[in-house]
């Protein structure tokens, strides 16, 4: 794939967009149905690709990628007609006699979707369905780290669409840069804050609007207070850290647990990890793997530097790229391991005094905004206050990850964890821009806006303005 190839693809899509065919809501809904049909048609191959790249079992493949995408497509099929309907507004007395203003929900045009490896279906096709619902054409740059998934995504798209409408592009960083150098009308990137800076720099050259879904530079916190249901908290934390071997942008990066209950929580956590995935996770065929040998080595090296504080795990299978869920305790809040996103099954645990929880919150707030926050406590009033006070993407009280499965609500980040929002109608909004159109009238026009502005005429106009302000 050369730079010229990318430019030719974009040119074809831009030409197709200008025909106006994608503006038709019936057309969009038909395309969403075709996309759903394609996913169902290739479901077994999608499962196989997710196993090949990430070691996912068929159940986890459905839970993490296939089912969420199908649910979102169904939501868009049902909602697109309503979401796309122009809003009608009264223009106001100042605009008289032009009484009607409409806000049209206009697609941007040709969208670029840069997808990551960790949820290769959900974060490519799941984003694509939002772009199509909004009336755009789209190019998907798939991750080269997940080659089997890249192949099946291309297969799904080619089965459903012509390349003038949707096209998959494969390749490494050089191809990604070819895409960023081309003039797209909207860019949606999922990945790391470091690469996001590069994406924004490239987009700025064309003043292209960008949506970013990032992991958060200093990771996502989970806070377990002394009044929490410790067994329940441990069960959910264990599940989450096992899922996709920790390679999840909203996963728990580190747990802060009240010192008063730390031992009890850690015992529950160890029991739950063993119960759910066994004593030798790296040999369990259901346990996912790390995406590459380099990712495995990075995880193993970081674990080695904390080997004297590993209380569970610390073992791996380099050949299979599987590293066991590894609990590290105690870890200070200022240590390096809790100052960057891990994206692996390592779980540092930071003890804190429960009566000094405000100091913990202050430290977290001083760091970069996370994509998620999780708190476990019986004190719902405190938990709600914290959730409304702190800056992060989204999260849960006494639960993990499930906020992303709720229909009709946004998924997004803030600051170093991203910008923009999607899922359902929020994805439709992300890929459209509101265009305000006032419908004028040639009758009963007032001269308030016209000269003269001085003398008696000016005074009368000011009186009229004052009357309008009081309405």
Residues 32 and 118 in one domain: yes
Helix, strand and coil in the chain, % to nearest 5? 50, 20, 30
Whether residue 447 is predicted with pLDDT greater than 80 in this model: the reply is no
What CATH number does the domain containing 132 carry? 3.40.605.10
Residues 146 and 51 in one domain: yes
94 pLDDT tier (thresholds 50, 70, 90)? confident
pLDDT at 464: 87
The reply to whether 300 falls in a domain is: yes
Q: What percent of the chain has pLDDT over 70?
A: 100
Residues 210 and 292 in one domain: no
Q: Are 441 and 98 in contact (CB under 8 A)?
A: yes
Residues 429 and 447 in one domain: no
The reply to whether 416 falls in a domain is: no
Whose tokens are 């003398």? That residue is 455
The reply to whether 123 falls in a domain is: yes
The reply to whether 143 falls in a domain is: yes
pLDDT at 101: 97
Q: Are 66 and 47 in contact (CB under 8 A)?
A: yes
470 pLDDT tier (thresholds 50, 70, 90)? confident
332 pLDDT tier (thresholds 50, 70, 90)? very high
> What is the number of structural domains in the chain?
3
Q: Which two tokens stand for residue 348?
A: 């540092």
Residues 387 and 402 in one domain: yes
DSSP, residue by residue, 322-342? EE--EEE-S--TTSGGGSS--
Whether residue 340 is predicted with pLDDT greater than 80 in this model: the reply is yes
pLDDT at 380: 97
Provide mean pLDDT across the span 83-107: 93
Give the tens place of pLDDT for each residue, 288-319.
999 999 999 999 999 999 999 999 999 999 99
CA of 407: how far to CAs of 31, 241, 244, 338, 426, in Å? 21, 24, 23, 32, 10
What residues contact residue 170 under an 8 Å CB cut-off, 6+ apart? 1, 142, 144, 150, 154
Residues 231 and 342 in one domain: yes
CA of 68: how far to CAs of 121, 123, 398, in Å? 10, 10, 22
Whose tokens are 């905004």? That residue is 369
pLDDT at 448: 81
Instruction: Report how far residue 140's alpha carbon sits from residue 176's, in angstroms, rounded to the nearest whole number.
Output: 10
Residues 190 and 266 in one domain: no
Whether residue 433 is predicted with pLDDT greater than 90 in this model: the reply is yes
Residues 124 and 29 in one domain: yes
Residues 251 and 134 in one domain: no
pLDDT at 63: 93
Give the tens place of pLDDT for each residue, 203-244.
999 999 999 999 888 889 999 999 999 999 999 999 999 999
The per-residue pLDDT of the chain, averaged, comes to: 96
Structural domain of 304:
220-367+370-411
Among 53-57, 143-147, 215-219, 260-264, the minimum mean pLDDT is found in 215-219
Residues 64 and 31 in one domain: yes
pLDDT at 443: 86
Residues 211 and 281 in one domain: no
For residue 255, which of 243, 272, 238, 271 has the smallest C-alpha distance? 238
The reply to whether 289 falls in a domain is: yes
Backbone torsion region of residue 285, taken as left when φ is above 0, otherwise alpha when ψ lies between -120 and 50, otherwise beta: alpha
Tell whether pTM > 0.85.
yes
Q: What percent of the chain has pLDDT over 90?
A: 92
Q: Which residues are part of the catalytic machinery?
A: 213, 249
Q: Are 138 and 114 in contact (CB under 8 A)?
A: no
Give the tens place of pLDDT for each residue, 43-75.
999 999 999 999 999 999 999 999 999 999 999
Residues 380 and 243 in one domain: yes
């Amino acid at each position: 794939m050369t730079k010229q190839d990318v430019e030719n693809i974009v040119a074809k899509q831009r030409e197709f967009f200008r025909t106006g065919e994608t503006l038709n809501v019936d057309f969009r809904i038909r395309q969403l149905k075709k996309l759903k049909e394609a996913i169902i048609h290739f479901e077994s191959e999608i499962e196989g690709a997710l196993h090949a790249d990430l070691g996912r079992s068929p159940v986890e493949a459905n839970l993490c990628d296939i089912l969420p995408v199908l649910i979102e497509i169904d939501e868009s099929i049902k909602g697109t007609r309503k979401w796309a309907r122009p809003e009608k507004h009264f223009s106001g007395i100042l605009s008289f006699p032009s009484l009607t203003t409409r806000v049209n929900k206009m697609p941007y045009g040709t969208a670029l979707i840069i997808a990551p490896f960790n949820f290769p279906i959900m974060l490519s096709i799941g984003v694509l369905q939002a772009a199509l619902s909004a009336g755009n054409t789209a190019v998907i740059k798939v991750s080269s780290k997940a080659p089997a998934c890249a192949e099946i995504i291309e297969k799904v798209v080619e089965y459903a669409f012509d390349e003038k409408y949707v096209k998959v592009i494969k390749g490494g960083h050089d191809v990604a840069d070819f895409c960023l150098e081309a003039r797209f009308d909207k860019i949606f990137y999922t990945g790391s804050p470091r690469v996001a800076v590069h994406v924004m720099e490239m987009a700025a050259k064309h003043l292209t609007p960008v949506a970013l879904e990032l992991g958060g530079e200093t990771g996502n916190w989970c806070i377990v207070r002394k009044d929490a249901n410790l067994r329940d908290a441990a069960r959910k934390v264990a599940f989450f850290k096992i899922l996709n071997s920790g390679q999840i942008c909203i996963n728990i990066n580190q747990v802060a647990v009240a010192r008063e209950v730390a031992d009890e929580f850690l015992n529950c956590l160890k029991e739950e990890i063993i119960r759910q995935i066994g004593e030798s996770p790296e040999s369990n065929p259901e346990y996912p793997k790390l995406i590459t040998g380099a990712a495995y080595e990075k995880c193993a090296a970081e674990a080695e530097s904390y080997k004297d504080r590993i209380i569970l795990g610390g073992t791996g299978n380099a050949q299979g790229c599987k590293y066991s869920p590894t609990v590290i305790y105690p870890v200070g809040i200022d240590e390096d391991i809790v100052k960057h996103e891990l994206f692996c099954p390592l779980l540092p645990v930071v003890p804190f005094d429960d009566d000094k929880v405000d100091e913990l919150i202050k430290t977290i707030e001083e760091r970069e905004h996370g994509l998620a926050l999780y708190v476990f406590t019986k004190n719902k009033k405190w938990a709600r206050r914290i959730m409304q006070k702190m800056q992060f993407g989204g999260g849960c009280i006494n639960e993990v990850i499930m906020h992303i499965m709720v229909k009709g609500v946004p998924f997004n980040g803030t600051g170093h964890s991203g910008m923009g929002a999607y899922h359902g109608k929020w994805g439709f909004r992300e890929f459209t821009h509101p265009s305000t159109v006032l419908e004028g009238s040639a009758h009963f026009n007032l001269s308030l806006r016209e000269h003269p502005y001085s003398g008696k005429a000016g005074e009368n106009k000011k009186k009229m303005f004052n009357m309008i302000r009081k309405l």
